[in-house]
Amino acid sequence: MSHQALLAAMRPPVSYDTVGDTAEIKAEAGVFDIVADHAEGVRNAPFPDAGNDYLYRWEELLAITPPAGANTQQRTDAVLAKLNALGGLSIAYFTAIAESAGYTVNIYEEDQFRAGESCAGDCLNTEDAIWRWCVDIADGKATAYIFRAGQSRAGDRISVYTDPIIETMFEELKPAWTYCRFEYEEEV
């Protein structure tokens, strides 16, 4: 039963025509319809994937700044990934987070050169190499920034590949002493 029919039924039948459409009943029913729509939105607010108008509140609460031009589904995926991020320091944990966000990654740690363990031809890394993760992203969703005459300047890199969603997620959740280097297998 609509709000308009309910309001008309509440009027005393002796004083008012219960089947008559009046401007007052239509206006009041319109207000109740708006209130009911907002109540439905509030009911769905605890669920960021419910497609409601409270996604921006989830982003504020979780300190997520969506990339420019991100659509609603990308923003929702970022919120859900952050909600699923309960904490952890292991590579397996970060691999699982990336998979839940739709990425296929391989994370490995570099090691410093050690006499007796390393071989000729191995990379001579610094002592800080043990705190560095190399994150190989196999999805090819990277945005390419290519050096172009007239747009780039001296000192700019020839090419830069980046995916702000996965990189931001890792930078926010990684251990503070760890540096992440991102590599993309399928570069544009």
Q: Give residue-wise pLDDT tens across range 127-142.
A: 666 677 888 888 767 7
Say whether both 17 and 89 belong to one domain.
no
CA dihedral 45, 50, 56, 62 (to 10 degrees): 80
Say whether both 35 and 63 belong to one domain.
no
**Is residue 126 domain-resident?**
yes
| pLDDT tens profile 15-42 | 776 666 678 888 888 898 888 887 877 7
β 179-184/132-137 pair status: parallel
**Is residue 136 domain-resident?**
yes
Both structure tokens of 180: 């992440």
The number of residues making up the chain comes to: 188
Residue 175 belongs to domain spanning = 85-184
**Is residue 32 domain-resident?**
yes
Name the DSSP letter for residue 160. E
Residue with the larger pLDDT of the pair 86 and 55: 55
- Give the pLDDT band of residue 188 (cuts 50, 70, 90): very low
Are 166 and 103 in contact by the 8 Å Cβ rule? The answer is yes
Strand, coil or helix: what is 121? coil
Residue with the larger pLDDT of the pair 51 and 69: 69
**Is residue 49 domain-resident?**
no
Task: Please give the Cα distance from 80 to 104 (Å, whole number).
Answer: 17
| pLDDT tens profile 81-123 | 787 766 677 888 888 888 888 888 888 877 766 677 777 776 6
**Is residue 40 domain-resident?**
yes
Say whether both 104 and 147 belong to one domain.
yes
